[in-house]
Amino acid sequence: MENASKALLMAAGVLIGIMILSLAVYLFLNFGGTSAQISQIAEENQIAQFNSQFLTYEGKENVTIYDVISMANLATQNNKRYEFSKTDHIPHNDKNDYYISVELQGKGQIEYGIETNDNTVKEKYDEYILEQVNSINASTALTYYKVQVEINDLTQRVYRVICTRR
């Protein structure tokens, strides 16, 4: 009787140990999945916040050359961050390509990359602004632009901004 009692206690101990291990594995898997979800949500929020810098101009009636230059500056900062050179290639669905192209009607691409120093970029943008200001006379107003933003299907990031005169 005494041996049977000890055997039951040992079996109960083994069952409790298995239950504790099962609980530990369950919690590990559950918390691991939650961590991945939190990471994914944080990444999606970063992308949405980044894209909103460009998407705020889409559909507006009063986008001026100053706004276009602001978008080009954002694109230039992005391209320098990822160490891209200015390129005539406009990326489409390359999942590792975060290059952003800003195109101004009649001027082509106006964003820059790492091969151009900041003073040259500023001078070029000042030329665009001066050209717009010089085109204004007593009878005409500032030129407004229509903005079209394209988002990469794979990265879900803005990769192209097209600005056309209205």
80 and 10 together in one domain: no
43 and 61 together in one domain: no
44 and 84 together in one domain: no
116 and 62 together in one domain: yes
How far apart are alpha carbons 86 and 72 in whole angstroms? 12
Range of the domain at 92: 57-165
116 and 126 together in one domain: yes
Pairing status of strand 101-104 against strand 158-165: parallel
29 and 62 together in one domain: no
Average pLDDT over residues 23-42: 84
89 and 10 together in one domain: no
The two most distant CA atoms of the chain are separated, in Å, by 111
C-beta separation of 111 from 86 below 8 A: yes
31 and 67 together in one domain: no
Supply the mean pLDDT for the chain: 86
CA distances from 71 to 14, 27, 48, 89, 145 (A): 65, 46, 16, 19, 12
> Does residue 89 register a pLDDT over 90?
no
76 and 157 together in one domain: yes
Q: What percent of the chain has pLDDT over 70?
A: 92
State residue 143's pLDDT score.
87
C-beta separation of 87 from 108 below 8 A: no
State residue 94's pLDDT score.
56
The total number of structural domains in the chain stands at 2
How far apart are alpha carbons 149 and 60 in whole angstroms? 12
Residue after which a domain boundary falls, among 9, 28, 55:
55
60 phi and psi angles, rounded to 5 deg: -80, 150
